[in-house]
Structure 1
Amino acid sequence: MLRKLVFWLILVPLAIVILMFAVANRELVTVSFDPFDPTAPAASVSVPLFVLVFVLVIAGVIIGGVAAWLRQSDYRRAARRRDADVMALRREIEVLNSKLGDKFDAPAADHTARLAYRRPANG
Protein backbone atom coordinates (compact mmCIF):
# COMPACT_ATOMS: atom_id res chain seq x y z
CA MET A 1 0.00 0.00 0.00
CA LEU A 2 2.75 2.45 0.96
CA ARG A 3 4.70 1.55 -2.17
CA LYS A 4 1.70 2.39 -4.38
CA LEU A 5 1.19 5.66 -2.52
CA VAL A 6 4.84 6.67 -3.01
CA PHE A 7 4.62 5.70 -6.67
CA TRP A 8 1.51 7.77 -7.40
CA LEU A 9 2.27 10.79 -5.19
CA ILE A 10 6.00 11.19 -5.79
CA LEU A 11 7.36 9.20 -8.70
CA VAL A 12 4.65 9.88 -11.28
CA PRO A 13 4.70 13.70 -10.80
CA LEU A 14 8.51 13.61 -10.79
CA ALA A 15 8.51 11.67 -14.06
CA ILE A 16 6.11 14.22 -15.57
CA VAL A 17 8.36 17.11 -14.50
CA ILE A 18 11.43 15.37 -15.93
CA LEU A 19 9.62 14.72 -19.21
CA MET A 20 8.51 18.37 -19.40
CA PHE A 21 12.11 19.48 -18.76
CA ALA A 22 13.38 17.22 -21.53
CA VAL A 23 10.82 18.49 -24.04
CA ALA A 24 11.47 22.14 -23.15
CA ASN A 25 15.27 21.85 -23.43
CA ARG A 26 15.87 20.05 -26.71
CA GLU A 27 18.22 22.62 -28.27
CA LEU A 28 21.77 21.53 -28.93
CA VAL A 29 24.62 22.80 -26.80
CA THR A 30 28.30 22.31 -27.52
CA VAL A 31 30.33 20.88 -24.68
CA SER A 32 34.01 21.66 -25.14
CA PHE A 33 36.86 19.83 -23.47
CA ASP A 34 39.52 22.20 -24.84
CA PRO A 35 40.13 25.16 -22.50
CA PHE A 36 42.77 26.75 -24.76
CA ASP A 37 40.82 27.33 -27.99
CA PRO A 38 37.14 28.17 -27.40
CA THR A 39 36.47 29.08 -31.05
CA ALA A 40 37.60 25.78 -32.59
CA PRO A 41 37.92 23.23 -29.78
CA ALA A 42 39.82 20.03 -30.49
CA ALA A 43 37.52 17.95 -28.32
CA SER A 44 33.86 18.90 -28.30
CA VAL A 45 30.47 17.28 -28.58
CA SER A 46 27.03 18.68 -29.36
CA VAL A 47 24.20 17.20 -27.32
CA PRO A 48 20.71 18.33 -26.33
CA LEU A 49 20.72 20.31 -23.09
CA PHE A 50 18.51 17.85 -21.21
CA VAL A 51 20.93 14.99 -22.00
CA LEU A 52 23.82 17.01 -20.60
CA VAL A 53 21.87 17.81 -17.43
CA PHE A 54 20.81 14.18 -16.94
CA VAL A 55 24.35 12.90 -17.47
CA LEU A 56 25.73 15.41 -14.96
CA VAL A 57 23.06 14.53 -12.37
CA ILE A 58 23.72 10.80 -12.77
CA ALA A 59 27.47 11.38 -12.50
CA GLY A 60 26.93 13.43 -9.34
CA VAL A 61 24.80 10.69 -7.77
CA ILE A 62 27.43 8.06 -8.60
CA ILE A 63 30.30 10.18 -7.26
CA GLY A 64 28.34 11.00 -4.10
CA GLY A 65 27.46 7.33 -3.56
CA VAL A 66 31.08 6.25 -3.95
CA ALA A 67 32.22 9.00 -1.55
CA ALA A 68 29.64 7.95 1.07
CA TRP A 69 30.59 4.28 0.65
CA LEU A 70 34.28 5.07 1.13
CA ARG A 71 33.53 7.28 4.14
CA GLN A 72 31.62 4.45 5.85
CA SER A 73 34.35 1.81 5.50
CA ASP A 74 35.35 2.11 9.18
CA TYR A 75 31.79 1.42 10.28
CA ARG A 76 31.46 -1.61 8.00
CA ARG A 77 34.78 -2.98 9.28
CA ALA A 78 33.67 -2.52 12.91
CA ALA A 79 30.35 -4.23 12.16
CA ARG A 80 32.15 -7.23 10.62
CA ARG A 81 34.38 -7.49 13.70
CA ARG A 82 31.39 -7.33 16.02
CA ASP A 83 29.56 -9.98 14.00
CA ALA A 84 32.60 -12.26 14.27
CA ASP A 85 32.78 -11.62 18.03
CA VAL A 86 29.08 -12.40 18.46
CA MET A 87 29.42 -15.64 16.48
CA ALA A 88 32.45 -16.68 18.57
CA LEU A 89 30.60 -15.93 21.80
CA ARG A 90 27.55 -17.89 20.65
CA ARG A 91 29.77 -20.89 19.83
CA GLU A 92 31.35 -20.57 23.27
CA ILE A 93 27.92 -20.49 24.88
CA GLU A 94 26.94 -23.65 23.00
CA VAL A 95 30.14 -25.41 24.11
CA LEU A 96 29.63 -24.37 27.73
CA ASN A 97 25.96 -25.39 27.62
CA SER A 98 26.91 -28.81 26.27
CA LYS A 99 29.52 -29.23 29.04
CA LEU A 100 27.03 -28.04 31.63
CA GLY A 101 24.37 -30.38 30.25
CA ASP A 102 26.79 -33.34 30.58
CA LYS A 103 27.37 -32.56 34.26
CA PHE A 104 23.72 -32.13 35.14
CA ASP A 105 21.74 -34.94 33.56
CA ALA A 106 19.09 -34.71 36.27
CA PRO A 107 15.57 -33.58 35.32
CA ALA A 108 15.47 -29.89 34.61
CA ALA A 109 14.31 -27.80 37.52
CA ASP A 110 13.61 -24.09 37.61
CA HIS A 111 16.90 -23.43 39.38
CA THR A 112 19.14 -25.38 36.96
CA ALA A 113 22.02 -23.25 35.73
CA ARG A 114 21.96 -22.60 31.99
CA LEU A 115 23.83 -20.07 29.90
CA ALA A 116 21.88 -18.13 27.33
CA TYR A 117 22.36 -15.20 25.05
CA ARG A 118 20.06 -12.33 25.92
CA ARG A 119 19.53 -9.49 23.48
CA PRO A 120 20.34 -6.04 24.87
CA ALA A 121 17.33 -4.03 26.01
CA ASN A 122 18.09 -1.06 23.73
CA GLY A 123 18.19 -2.92 20.45
Structure 2
Amino acid sequence: MLKKLINIVVFVPLGVLLIILSVANRQTVTLALNPFEPSDSLLSVSAPFFVFLFLAVILGLVLGAAATWFTQAKYRRRARSEASEAVKWHREAEKQRSQAEKLATQASLPAPQG
Protein backbone atom coordinates (compact mmCIF):
# COMPACT_ATOMS: atom_id res chain seq x y z
CA MET A 1 0.00 0.00 0.00
CA LEU A 2 2.82 2.40 0.89
CA LYS A 3 4.60 1.62 -2.38
CA LYS A 4 1.42 2.37 -4.33
CA LEU A 5 1.00 5.67 -2.49
CA ILE A 6 4.62 6.65 -3.16
CA ASN A 7 4.19 5.79 -6.85
CA ILE A 8 1.12 8.01 -7.02
CA VAL A 9 2.86 10.86 -5.20
CA VAL A 10 5.86 10.67 -7.54
CA PHE A 11 4.44 9.67 -10.92
CA VAL A 12 1.28 11.80 -11.07
CA PRO A 13 3.16 15.11 -10.62
CA LEU A 14 5.85 13.85 -12.99
CA GLY A 15 3.22 13.06 -15.63
CA VAL A 16 1.59 16.47 -15.18
CA LEU A 17 5.00 18.13 -15.46
CA LEU A 18 5.76 16.24 -18.69
CA ILE A 19 2.42 17.22 -20.20
CA ILE A 20 3.01 20.88 -19.30
CA LEU A 21 6.53 20.67 -20.74
CA SER A 22 5.18 19.18 -23.96
CA VAL A 23 2.50 21.82 -24.38
CA ALA A 24 4.93 24.65 -23.64
CA ASN A 25 7.55 23.40 -26.14
CA ARG A 26 5.52 22.63 -29.25
CA GLN A 27 7.48 24.87 -31.59
CA THR A 28 9.42 23.09 -34.30
CA VAL A 29 13.20 23.18 -34.04
CA THR A 30 15.89 21.74 -36.27
CA LEU A 31 18.63 19.52 -34.92
CA ALA A 32 21.60 19.86 -37.27
CA LEU A 33 24.05 16.96 -37.12
CA ASN A 34 26.61 18.51 -39.49
CA PRO A 35 28.66 21.03 -37.48
CA PHE A 36 30.45 22.36 -40.57
CA GLU A 37 27.33 23.16 -42.58
CA PRO A 38 24.24 23.45 -40.36
CA SER A 39 22.00 24.19 -43.34
CA ASP A 40 22.62 20.70 -44.76
CA SER A 41 19.14 19.17 -44.86
CA LEU A 42 20.44 15.61 -45.22
CA LEU A 43 21.92 15.59 -41.71
CA SER A 44 19.22 17.58 -39.93
CA VAL A 45 15.98 16.63 -38.27
CA SER A 46 13.02 18.93 -37.60
CA ALA A 47 10.58 18.08 -34.86
CA PRO A 48 8.79 19.74 -31.92
CA PHE A 49 11.24 20.60 -29.16
CA PHE A 50 9.61 18.30 -26.59
CA VAL A 51 10.42 15.30 -28.83
CA PHE A 52 14.12 16.07 -28.50
CA LEU A 53 13.73 16.55 -24.74
CA PHE A 54 12.00 13.18 -24.36
CA LEU A 55 14.57 11.46 -26.56
CA ALA A 56 17.36 12.94 -24.44
CA VAL A 57 15.71 11.65 -21.24
CA ILE A 58 15.15 8.19 -22.75
CA LEU A 59 18.74 8.05 -24.03
CA GLY A 60 19.99 9.06 -20.57
CA LEU A 61 17.92 6.33 -18.92
CA VAL A 62 19.17 3.69 -21.35
CA LEU A 63 22.81 4.73 -20.99
CA GLY A 64 22.52 4.86 -17.20
CA ALA A 65 20.94 1.40 -17.09
CA ALA A 66 23.64 0.00 -19.39
CA ALA A 67 26.41 1.53 -17.28
CA THR A 68 24.89 0.09 -14.12
CA TRP A 69 24.48 -3.31 -15.73
CA PHE A 70 28.11 -3.38 -16.86
CA THR A 71 29.47 -2.24 -13.50
CA GLN A 72 27.50 -4.97 -11.72
CA ALA A 73 28.84 -7.72 -14.00
CA LYS A 74 31.42 -8.88 -11.45
CA TYR A 75 28.71 -9.36 -8.81
CA ARG A 76 26.51 -11.35 -11.20
CA ARG A 77 29.50 -13.50 -12.20
CA ARG A 78 30.32 -14.16 -8.54
CA ALA A 79 26.69 -15.04 -7.79
CA ARG A 80 26.62 -17.54 -10.68
CA SER A 81 29.90 -19.06 -9.50
CA GLU A 82 28.71 -19.40 -5.91
CA ALA A 83 25.35 -20.80 -7.01
CA SER A 84 27.02 -23.50 -9.10
CA GLU A 85 29.33 -24.31 -6.20
CA ALA A 86 26.34 -24.56 -3.86
CA VAL A 87 24.64 -26.96 -6.27
CA LYS A 88 27.83 -29.03 -6.41
CA TRP A 89 28.04 -29.23 -2.60
CA HIS A 90 24.33 -30.03 -2.37
CA ARG A 91 24.80 -32.96 -4.76
CA GLU A 92 27.79 -34.13 -2.74
CA ALA A 93 25.76 -33.97 0.49
CA GLU A 94 22.92 -35.96 -1.11
CA LYS A 95 25.43 -38.55 -2.31
CA GLN A 96 26.95 -38.86 1.16
CA ARG A 97 23.50 -39.07 2.74
CA SER A 98 22.41 -41.87 0.41
CA GLN A 99 25.66 -43.75 1.10
CA ALA A 100 25.12 -43.36 4.86
CA GLU A 101 21.55 -44.63 4.55
CA LYS A 102 22.77 -47.60 2.51
CA LEU A 103 25.40 -48.44 5.15
CA ALA A 104 22.84 -48.07 7.93
CA THR A 105 20.42 -50.46 6.24
CA GLN A 106 23.23 -52.95 5.62
CA ALA A 107 24.29 -52.78 9.26
CA SER A 108 20.75 -53.37 10.50
CA LEU A 109 20.25 -56.50 8.38
CA PRO A 110 20.97 -59.85 10.10
CA ALA A 111 24.11 -61.61 9.02
CA PRO A 112 23.49 -64.35 6.41
CA GLN A 113 23.49 -67.83 7.88
CA GLY A 114 25.23 -70.48 5.97
Residue 87 of structure 2 is aligned to residue 95 of structure 1: no
Unpaired stretches in structure 2, ≥5 consecutive residues? 109-114
Deviations 1:62-112 (A, max 9, x none): 1121122122222211111110000000000001011111222489xxxxx
Task: State the distance in 1 between where 2:14 and 2:55 align.
Answer: 17
Task: State the distance in 2 between where 1:41 and 1:64 align.
Answer: 32
Q: Flag the structure with higher helix content.
A: 2
In the alignment of these two chains, the number of paired residues is 106
**Alignment TM-score, normalising by the size of structure 1:** 0.78
Deviations 1:26-59 (A, max 9, x none): 1111100111013x22411111111101001101
CA-based RMSD: 1.7
- Mean CA deviation greater in 88-97 or 58-67: 58-67
Counterpart position of 1:51: 51
Following TM superposition, the consecutive aligned residue runs of length 4 or more in structure 1 with deviations greater than 4 angstroms are none
Task: State the distance in 2 between where 1:79 and 1:4 align.
Answer: 31
Unpaired stretches in structure 1, ≥5 consecutive residues? 108-123
Task: State the distance in 1 between where 2:29 and 2:74 align.
Answer: 43
Deviations 1:3-26 (A, max 9, x none): 431232111111111111111111
Name the larger-Rg structure: 2
Counterpart position of 1:71: 71
Residue identity opposite 2:104 in structure 1: F
Counterpart position of 1:22: 22
Task: State the distance in 1 between where 2:4 and 2:26 align.
Answer: 32
